[in-house]
Amino acid sequence: MKKHNFSAGPSILSEFTIKNTAAAVENFAGMGLSILEISHRSKEFVAVSDEARAMIKTLLDVPSGYEVVFLGGGASLQFCMVPYNLLAKKAAYLDTGTWASNAIKEAKLFGEVDVVASSKEANYTYIPKGYTIPEDVDYFHFTSNNTIYGTEIRYDPVVKVRMACDMSSDIFSRPVDVSKYDIIYAGAQKNLAPAGVTLIIVREEALGHVERAIPTMLDYRTHIKKESMFNTPPVLPIYSALQTLKWYKEQGGVEAIEKMNLDKAAILYDEIDRNKLFRGTVAIEDRSIMNVCFIMNDEYKELEADFASFAAAAGMVGIKGHRSVGGFRASLYNAMPKSSVEALITCMKEFEKQH
């Protein structure tokens, strides 16, 4: 039976990425060695890293004055690296979910944090609007897509201060005006590669303005200077990332990926809104195209476990909602084929007929 992978992360990768990575595990670049055992400083792997960073700049139209680096530690390490490098006195944060809240907690270790708005009181079921960002802050930070709750900010805010963004779960899902940001970071395990590498896009001019001493490994300038090779980078995930980037280019770039994503999300949300058994969990205008969250309507709550079993038997993997919110979550990352979304919709319709 075909499996349809709706896992929230680590999550689906393109067949192109998996096939090429598997081949490199056996024999990388004709070296007669596995990608798992080669030196990260070999000319063959340096070429991979250089090409991947260059392709990121091309696909996202990264302007001059920015550098792309690969780091370990996941996006969670960036929760402290961003304020370590940028927060001199005060920063503004938007609280839209668990990961935004975690970032706020870390930033408070380095200075004053102004939480300009939060949707916590409504269990993060909407994106706050109409808030004011003080002009005396060192930067404004937000999380563009909230994987647990299924909300997304699908535009580039215009602010008068520096801006940092956690794009872990929607990077490459839409065109981004990088020039509006000073730091963009993204854990790889949603839309780029296996877990283990984190993508950083940073404006060099934004660095070097804090007085505190920064540990060598936590200073972005260290990794820019050494071109992501200050210490041993996550070799295999970087190789996989390059394959994903090549696949994005083959699909027609980020603009084409966005069109496919909008189409996939639209047909699933349409079914959720039509089907008598289900309903969405967040404000319609803030619905994520990456993580579609839904629950059983109140009168059908007792069928939740039955639907989970029914869907699993039909090959649906990873649709159970996050343990903190329950219900269901279908993650429609860039590599998710429309056919899998259609299979889930068929599953929902068939279950509806039975009840």
* pLDDT tens, position by position, 35-94: 999 999 999 999 999 999 999 999 999 999 999 999 999 999 999 999 999 999 999 999
pTM for this model (two decimals): 0.97
Q: How far apart are CA 8 and CA 332, in angstroms?
A: 9
pLDDT tens digits, one per residue of 235-247: 999 999 999 999 9
Using 50, 70 and 90 to split pLDDT, how confident is the model at 326? Answer: confident
Using 50, 70 and 90 to split pLDDT, how confident is the model at 323? Answer: confident
- Catalytic pick among 95, 138, 166, 219: 166
Using 50, 70 and 90 to split pLDDT, how confident is the model at 26? Answer: very high
Question: What is the structure's pLDDT at 54?
Answer: 98
Helices (H) and strands (E) in the chain, counts: 9, 14
Q: Can 105 be counted among the known catalytic residues? A: no
Q: Can 306 be counted among the known catalytic residues? A: no
CB 209 within 8 A of CB 88: yes
The amino acid that residue 136 corresponds to is D
What is the bridge-based pairing of β-strands 183-187 and 163-166? Answer: parallel
Residues in Cβ contact with 272 at an 8 Å cutoff, skipping those fewer than 6 apart: 278, 279, 280, 292, 294, 348
Provide the residue ranges of all domains of the chain, joining segments of one domain with +. Answer: 15-251, 253-353
Question: What is the structure's pLDDT at 330?
Answer: 98
The amino acid that residue 177 corresponds to is D
pLDDT at residue 324 above 90?
no
- Catalytic pick among 170, 190, 264, 320: 190
- The Cα angle at residue 324 between residues 103 and 108, in degrees rounded to 5: 20
Alpha-carbon torsion (51, 55, 56, 58), positive or negative:
positive
277-291: average pLDDT: 98
DSSP 297: -
- Catalytic pick among 99, 182, 286, 320: 99
Question: What is the structure's pLDDT at 1?
Answer: 83
pLDDT tens digits, one per residue of 328-353: 999 999 999 999 999 999 999 999 99
CATH number of 15-251: 3.40.640.10
pLDDT tens digits, one per residue of 137-166: 999 999 999 999 999 999 999 999 999 999
Question: What is the structure's pLDDT at 283?
Answer: 98
Mean pLDDT (the chain, rounded): 97
Question: What is the structure's pLDDT at 322?
Answer: 85
pLDDT tens digits, one per residue of 106-145: 999 999 999 999 999 999 999 999 999 999 999 999 999 9
Q: How far apart are CA 187 and CA 201, in angstroms?
A: 12
CB 241 within 8 A of CB 197: yes
Q: May I ask the CATH architecture of the domain 253-353? A: Alpha-Beta Complex (3.90)
Using a pLDDT cut of 70, give the percent of the chain over it.
100
Q: Can 338 be counted among the known catalytic residues? A: no
